[in-house]
Homo-oligomer: A and B are copies of this chain.
Amino acid sequence: MSLNYFLPTKVLLDEDCVKKNAELLGPLGKKAIIVTGKHSARVNGSLQDVRDALASQEIDYILFDKVESNPTILTARQGAAFAKENNADFVIGIGGGSPMDAAKAIALLACQELSDDELFSGQYKNEILPLVLLPTTAGTGSEVTQYSILTNDKAQSKTSIATPLLFPKIAMVDAKYTVGLPLKTTINTAVDALSHSIEGMLAIKANSLIDLLATESITKIAGSFGKLLSGDIDAACRAELIYASTLAGIVIAHTGTTAVHSMGYSLTYFHHIDHGRANGLLLAAFFAFVEKKNPSVIRHLLDIMGLKDLAAFKNTLGSLLGEKEKIDRQDFEKFADIAIKAKNIANCTVVPTRQDLYNMYVESFE
């Protein structure tokens, strides 16, 4: 029995948690930079809640609302320059994974001069702007991780900045911001969170406590499969999904992800397939791969989800994700070459070869 646990983020998950905890923002500084995307934070009420909370504490702010899906290093550099020009004291990131990950990189780059290579090096000075993150989807878990995933054109993939510096000071998690999400986004993000918890349990760094959190997270998401399939997603389901995705974030903060994420990044980079969907499309093939070496862990995961067998899992994911993209086998050769170089590969309890990765791509799409 062993345990290696560290989560220095204050996690506040509750209805109206931004309003209820506005006074926690006061000690962070006199001026915030709000980092978000173009639209959703305006529509779901999160941006207004943050503005009100800042006003209640007499904190000034600037708004950087230029974060695109799968944000680039350039976007992070622009945000950091904007923060520096305006002497922002801390960063509030609002959104799905993209704005939150950009907010983290902005907080880092606002305090440290780093080349593109240095940005992913793992070697940093101990300086970063304090971070507050508000998820507005129930998937990424970025609000409780030390990772910022940026599009890295040099690696033709998405690459992680990973440092404990990136743990936010505060995560404010309110399911109400997810209520208006389209069904497709709700499914893709739920599948992303599911993949995080599953991959966590299949990673070499898993331990008793992490298994416990992952099991709870998987149970909640699998318990929502019916509602996700019917499209009838009520507030209680939204609350369970964001709780599950935050737990899944805590899981991967400790375990990292596995080959599923390594493979998924190419689907996103080259075919613009949504990140959660990309993981979901690959998950059943990964189960089949792991099952050959370790059938008991797959049986355990299926039991947690209340599924009879691997075919049932494949069918459920198939129904949730709908028709698959058509991708050429040539592409899979290239993707396997890229994925095998990722750090996450060595993080699998059953380590795939390059050929295994290729086979999983083929099995997933044919």
List the interface of chain A (C-beta within 8 A of B). Answer: 1-15, 173, 175, 208-209, 212-213, 216, 239-240, 243, 246-247
Q: Is the interface of A mostly helix, strand, loop or mixed?
A: mixed
- Complex formed: what's the CA distance from A4 to B24 in Å? 13
Q: Which residue of the partner chain, among B1, B8, B213, contacts A8 with CB atoms under 8 Å? A: B8
- List of 6 A-B pairs having minimum Cβ-Cβ separation, nearest first: A3-B13, A2-B14, A5-B11, A8-B8, A6-B10, A1-B239
- Complex formed: what's the CA distance from A74 to B70 in Å? 58
Instruction: List the B residue with the shortest CB-CB distance to A171.
Output: B5
Contact in complex: B12, A243 (CB < 8 Å): no
Contact in complex: A11, B1 (CB < 8 Å): no
Cβ of A2 to closest chain B Cβ, rounded Å: 4
Cβ of A124 to closest chain B Cβ, rounded Å: 14
Contact in complex: A240, B1 (CB < 8 Å): yes
- Complex formed: what's the CA distance from A248 to B203 in Å? 26
Q: Which residue of the partner chain, among B1, B13, B239, contacts A243 with CB atoms under 8 Å? A: B1
- Complex formed: what's the CA distance from A246 to B3 in Å? 10
Contact in complex: A208, B243 (CB < 8 Å): yes
A-B contact pairs, 28 of them (CB 8 A): A1-B175, A1-B243, A2-B13, A2-B14, A2-B15, A3-B11, A3-B12, A3-B13, A3-B173, A3-B243, A3-B246, A4-B11, A4-B12, A4-B14, A5-B7, A5-B10, A5-B11, A5-B13, A6-B9, A6-B10, A6-B11, A8-B8, A208-B216, A209-B213, A209-B216, A209-B247, A212-B212, A212-B213
- Complex formed: what's the CA distance from A212 to B5 in Å? 16
Instruction: List the B residue with the shortest CB-CB distance to A15.
Output: B2
Cβ of A298 to closest chain B Cβ, rounded Å: 23
Contact in complex: A3, B14 (CB < 8 Å): yes
Interface centre among A173, A209, A213, A247 (most CB of B within 10 A): A209
Cβ of A133 to closest chain B Cβ, rounded Å: 14
- Complex formed: what's the CA distance from A6 to B9 in Å? 6
Cβ of A210 to closest chain B Cβ, rounded Å: 12
Cβ of A233 to closest chain B Cβ, rounded Å: 15
